[in-house]
């Protein structure tokens, strides 16, 4: 039998390929080229490696979330949350990487920028796939026509990359997985609410929790608005009605009627419930999961903003090498290209803990690890 060749560090990591993958374009005719181009290449490559890792994490998270059933109190749920945390840490790290590239000044960049046309980060297949995996669709992006118009032209994608991005967009996404998961949440099953005493008879919804919560919210809004106006000595009944009327109409829209752009009313109701009762043991992980999504969306926006701000400092108002308006286009993408921003609707409708409806015993038992941990009727948790 052949002796097994001992594993060697650089062979395992294929460092020969990685370290031989920096080829500055400004190094022509035997000249050394622009000093900063090496940094420019390495920073981009580092980003692309991290994008690869993010894809790897997202792919496993999406697989788990799309399963028929995930037990929220098993290892599987904690693995999902742990991997989402990892994605958060990676995006955080990527955001710091801009600091390194910003040590290059605009005139240094000009030394080699003209060699780059018509290539651009716009063509980063992996970045587009990460966006698609999260749930961003072409038509939901800032200036979607740009992708369609340029994809076969200069500055656009090679056909192969364009096809890979389009395929990723029709695959299952994190957004869809989260929507399915929220829709499966059992909190509002009828049998759990059988002994629940509705506080408000005028039912706004078939779901007793949302029905009561809606009325509690309306009452709080009314009192709040009256108090504020009284304090400011504004005696305008109409104004008060208008203010709390808008808040409660929004509540009806999001949690009872149409939902938001990305989530149905049922999915938003489940997300609201998780946010409000997240201190119950069974809801710890769902609570962490929801907050990780908000964090990822926020950090990616920060990524886009940091990139935009760097580009503005680097090239001012010049168009990009990829053919967009440059910084102006990127700022539009900061505002538009978000996936989980709708979850930020929820805090608008939070009520103080002491005002929350007391949950029925059956449901409290379901949400506790065991009766010993959170005995029914004795728990302080609402």
Residues of the shown chain interacting with ligand HEM in the complex, contacts defined by CB under 6 A: 43-44, 47, 101, 109, 120-122, 124, 127, 307, 311, 314-315, 320-324, 326, 329-330, 333, 337
Q: 345: which DSSP letter?
A: G
Nearer to ligand HEM, 49 or 344 (CB): 49
CB of 32 to ligand HEM, least distance (A): 20
Q: Which long-range contacts (CB under 8 A, 24 or more apart) does 47-55 make?
A: 47/94, 47/97, 48/124, 48/126, 50/90, 50/93, 50/94, 51/124, 51/126, 51/127, 51/129, 51/130, 52/126, 53/90, 54/87, 54/90, 54/91, 54/130, 55/126, 55/129, 55/130, 55/133
CB of 329 to ligand HEM, least distance (A): 6
CB of 118 to ligand HEM, least distance (A): 8
Nearer to ligand HEM, 91 or 240 (CB): 91
Nearer to ligand HEM, 48 or 76 (CB): 48
CB of 344 to ligand HEM, least distance (A): 20
Interior angle at CA 340, CA 334 and CA 344, nearest 5: 95
CB of 142 to ligand HEM, least distance (A): 7
Nearer to ligand HEM, 146 or 364 (CB): 146
Q: Cα dist. 228→164, 222, 286 in Å? A: 55, 10, 35
Query: In this structure, are residues 158 and 197 in contact, taking their beta carbons and an 8 Å threshold?
Result: no
Nearer to ligand HEM, 94 or 276 (CB): 94
Rounded to an integer, what distance in angstroms lies between the CA atom of residue 307 and that of residue 101? 10
Query: In this structure, are residues 296 and 304 in contact, taking their beta carbons and an 8 Å threshold?
Result: no
Rounded to an integer, what distance in angstroms lies between the CA atom of residue 34 and that of residue 43? 15
Where b means 16+ CB within 10 Å and e means fewer, 105-134 reads eeebbeebbebbeeebebbbbbbbbbbbbb
Nearer to ligand HEM, 315 or 356 (CB): 315
Nearer to ligand HEM, 116 or 366 (CB): 116
- DSSP H helices, 102-141, are 106-113, 125-134
CB of 54 to ligand HEM, least distance (A): 12
Contacts of residue 153, defined as CB under 8 A and 6 or more positions apart, other chains included, come to: 323
Nearer to ligand HEM, 109 or 209 (CB): 109
CB of 56 to ligand HEM, least distance (A): 17
In three-state secondary structure terms, 151 is coil
CB of 152 to ligand HEM, least distance (A): 16
């Amino acid at each position: 039998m052949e002796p097994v060749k001992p594993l060697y560090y650089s062979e395992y990591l294929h460092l020969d390929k990685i370290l031989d993958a920096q080829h500055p374009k400004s190094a022509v005719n035997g000249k050394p080229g622009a000093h900063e181009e090496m940094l420019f290449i390495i920073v981009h490559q580092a980003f692309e490696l991290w994008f690869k890792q993010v894809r790897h994490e997202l792919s496993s998270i999406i697989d788990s979330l799309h399963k028929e059933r995930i037990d929220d109190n098993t290892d599987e749920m904690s693995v999902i949350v742990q991997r989402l945390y990892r994605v958060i840490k990676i995006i955080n790290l990527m955001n710091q990487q801009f600091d390194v590239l910003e040590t290059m000044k605009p005139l240094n960049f000009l030394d080699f920028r003209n060699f780059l046309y018509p290539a651009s980060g716009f063509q980063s297949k992996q970045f587009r796939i990460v966006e698609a995996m999260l749930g961003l669709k072409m038509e939901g992006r800032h200036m979607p026509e740009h992708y369609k118009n340029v994809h076969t032209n200069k500055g656009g994608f090679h056909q192969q990359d364009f096809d890979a991005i389009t395929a990723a967009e029709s695959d299952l996404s994190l957004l869809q997985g989260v929507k399915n998961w929220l829709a499966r949440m059992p909190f509002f099953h009828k049998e759990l609410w059988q002994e629940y005493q509705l506080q408000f008879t005028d039912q706004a919804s078939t779901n007793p929790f949302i029905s009561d919560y809606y009325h509690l919210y309306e009452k709080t809004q009314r009192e709040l608005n009256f108090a504020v106006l009284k304090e400011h000595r504004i005696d305008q009944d109409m104004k008060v009605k208008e203010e709390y009327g808008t808040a409660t109409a929004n509540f009806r829209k999001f949690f009872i009627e149409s939902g938001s752009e990305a989530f149905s009313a049922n999915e938003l109701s489940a997300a609201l419930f998780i946010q409000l009762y997240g201190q119950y043991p069974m809801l710890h992980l769902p609570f962490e999961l929801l907050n990780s999504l908000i964090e990822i969306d926020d950090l990616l926006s920060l990524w886009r903003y940091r990139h935009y701000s760097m580009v503005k400092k680097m090239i001012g108002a010049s168009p990009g090498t990829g053919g967009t308006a440059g910084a102006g286009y990127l700022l539009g993408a900061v505002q538009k290209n978000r996936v989980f921003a709708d979850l930020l609707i929820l805090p608008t409708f939070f009520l103080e803990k002491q005002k929350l409806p007391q949950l029925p015993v059956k449901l409290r038992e379901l949400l506790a690890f065991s009766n010993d941990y959170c005995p029914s009727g004795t728990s302080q948790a609402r």
